[in-house]
Amino acid sequence: MANSKYEYVKRFEVEDEVMYPNIIVVQIAGRNFHRFSEEHGFEKPNDEKALNLMNASATKVLENFSDVVFGYGFSDEYSFVLKKETTFYQRRASKILSIIVSFFTSAYATKWKEFFPLKELNLSPSFRSRIICCASMEVLQAYLAWRQSECHLNNQYNTCLWKLIFSGTSEKEAKEILKGTQKQEKNELLFRQFGINYKDLPQILRQGSCAVKIKVEDIVKYRENGAPVKRPRKKAVIVHSENIATKGFWNNYSCLTEELGSLGEGINKIKPEFLRSFKFQSKLMLSTWIVIRVDGCHFHRFCEDNGFQKPNDEQALKLMNSCAISLVEMCKDIIFAYGVSDEFSFVLKKDSLLYQRHSSEIISAIVSLFSSMYVMKWKEFFPENDFKEPPYFDGRSVCYPSSKILRDYLAWRQVDCHINNQYNTCFWMLVKSGKSRTEAQSCLKGTQAQEKNELLAQFGIDYDALPIMFRMGSSVFRDKEELSGTDIGRDKVVVEHCNIIEESFWKEHPRILGEEAEEKHVIPLL
């Protein structure tokens, strides 16, 4: 980060490290998936294509992140277990949960057409995520047994419910029939009324799915005598088991015992309230401005892979802006967003009660939606290109107690925008002129702003004449749209490239931080 007088705002960031020896589990679950399922015509009670899409996204997570060694999923939920001694992003909860949910969401949206080639993705799929801290292997074992038990109970209930509805019973009547019934009674209902033996239903529905890594050997080349040269690697696969929380299942996969350890022989009856106590959750302080900063992960590589122009790709920046606009339109609690390069900061109103101010819920919802939008909007800005690997982002939340400190945070990001853009413009002009990247870095080491401007002048570039979006970044907010022939206006989300450090911007737009409302409710001194 560039040095500036505004850097003090970094002190408001709070560390959220998950302490060793806790085993980290990232649990993700669909947001508004009832509506999503209805919109896309998923079969009831289960759509196997949708479940296989979830599994394909999960295996992609295991293949992309070596620290994720196991996954278990059913319906619209997946739990990912990280290896016991992981230092993945130094065990910071917000980083881990946001990266996993972002990558999973991008993979889900990217792979949609593989499983639903005739259906358009009309709504943005999004997921929420949270961290579960398992203090021991016994707790992890109990957690996995609990989730598989939930899979069975939910599937059995939903199978009965929808069979009754399909037979002509109303949904209300069907729920009344099933109220208070036990497992055996549901099995008898399915068999007697519909000729269904519950145990004959597909394993993926009754048992859920496990994503595990197995060791395989790939042929990388052949010797002159025709003998293959093999290279070992770990491959993610989907398996099904009646009981995943047993020693017998666990010992079948060396990756699990090597990276996590062994399970016990068995566990007693699970109490969900006990397991819920291991959720890693924190509430953000009331009456503070919440900022969620979304930042691209490994975007240097992503830019290289997709041939982005250097030092700035205008279409890529417009894609980021379009995603931010959609988020501001969808979430009324977001009152301002500022973006530069591969990052965007979203400001939530001071009195926001979004997700009861649970940090993990807010971070994961915004990061997941942003990732989903990025994938879905890609073709609008790059119609001739397909990205090679799913883009993904990390997120963090920070609370700022006053409007002044919030504005200093935004000023810090805009100062960074200018300094980084000026440096990158110089750097890439030097590289394009024939210098190596190391030589370009040496040329720029220790140079001041004026010296960089003089260097650019040698290439015939007036820095102040470069596109304002590159120099100022992008501000996204709601503004009044005046309708012709009437004094009544309506809110419209706009993008402006302007100086948000100066007082003038905030005076022109007092509604953003509610300063207009505060002025109207000033209590006069007696």
Contact 26, 69 (CB under 8 A): no
Question: Does the residue 382 lie in any domain?
Answer: yes
Dihedral-angle region of residue 294 (phi above 0 means left; psi in -120 to 50 means alpha; beta otherwise): beta
Residue 197, in any domain of the structure: no
As a whole number of angstroms, the distance between CA 446 and CA 141 comes to 55
3-state secondary structure 188-240: HHHHHHHCCCHHHCCHHHHCCEEEEEEEEEEEEEECCCCCEEEEEEEEEEEEC
Pair 122, 262 in one domain: yes
Q: What is the 3-state secondary structure (H, E, C) of 287-347?
A: CCEEEEEEEECCHHHHHHHCCCCCCCCHHHHHHHHHHHHHHHHHCCCEEEEEEECCEEEEE
Would you say residue 425 lies in a domain? Answer: yes
CA-to-CA distance for 70 and 64, rounded, in angstroms?
A: 13
| Mean of all residue pLDDT scores within the chain | 91
CB of 402 closer than 8 Å to CB of 344: no
The model carries a pTM of 0.92
Q: Please state the separation of Cα 287 from the chain's center in Å.
A: 26
**Beta carbons of 109 and 125 less than 8 angstroms apart:** yes
155 inside domain: no
Q: Is the same domain home to 252 and 367?
A: no
- 337 is in which domain, residue-wise? 289-508
Q: In this structure, is residue 228 part of a structural domain?
A: no
Residue 490: the pLDDT is 72
Whole-angstrom CA distances from 53 to 57, 68, 154, 371, 484 are 6, 19, 20, 17, 48
In the 8-state DSSP scheme, what is residue 522? P
Do 332 and 418 belong to one domain? yes
- Report which DSSP code applies to 165: H
Task: Answer whether residue 370 is part of any domain.
Answer: yes
Could you tell me if 356 and 471 lie in one domain? yes
- Whether 245 and 357 map to the same domain: the answer is no
Q: Are residues 110 and 66 in the same domain?
A: yes
SS3 letters for 457-516?
HHCCCCHHHCCHHHHHCEEEEEEEEECCCCCCEEEEEEEECCCCCCHHHHHHCCCCCCHH
Measured from the Cβ of residue 249, the count of other Cβ atoms closer than 10 Å reads 18
For 216-242, what is the mean pLDDT? 86
pLDDT at 309 over 70: yes
Using CA atoms, how far apart are residues 77 and 30, in angstroms rounded to an integer? 6
The CATH number assigned to the domain holding 398 equals 3.30.70.3000
Same domain, 253 and 330: no
Classify residue 498: in a domain, yes or no.
yes
For 452, phi and psi rounded to 5 degrees? -65, -40
pLDDT class of 280 with cuts at 50, 70, 90: low
CB atoms within 10 A of CB 517: 10
Q: Which amino acid is at 276?
A: R
Q: How confident is the model at residue 95 (pLDDT cuts 50, 70, 90)?
A: very high
Three-state DSSP state, 27: strand
Structure-block tokens of residue 302 = 């992503």
Q: Helix or strand or coil: residue 88?
A: helix
Query: Is it true that the peptide bond before 232 is cis, omega within 30 degrees of 0?
Result: no
CB 467 within 8 A of CB 314: yes
**Is residue 523 scored above 80 in pLDDT?**
no
Please check whether residues 378 and 453 belong to one and the same domain: yes
Task: Return all residues near 450 (Cβ < 8 A) that are at least 6 apart.
Answer: none
Task: Let me know whether 360 and 412 are in one domain.
Answer: yes
Spatial contact of 211 and 227, defined as CB atoms under 8 Å apart: no
Q: What is the mean pLDDT of residues 289-297?
A: 97
Element (H, E) at 414: helix 403-432
Report residue 231's pLDDT band, with 50, 70 and 90 as the boundaries. Answer: confident
Same domain for 251 and 378: no
pLDDT, average across residues 256-270? 78
Q: How many domains does the chain have?
A: 2
| Contact status, residue 392 vs residue 102, Cβ threshold 8 Å | yes
In a domain, 22, yes or no: yes
* 351 lies in the same domain as 432: yes
pLDDT digits (tens, 9 = 90+) for 45-89: 999 999 999 999 999 999 999 999 999 999 999 999 999 999 999
pLDDT of residue 482: 59
More confident of the two residues 343 and 136: 343
Instruction: Return the percentage of the chain with pLDDT > 90, whole number.
Output: 82
473/396 same-domain check = yes
Look at residue 278 in the predicted model and tell me its pLDDT.
66
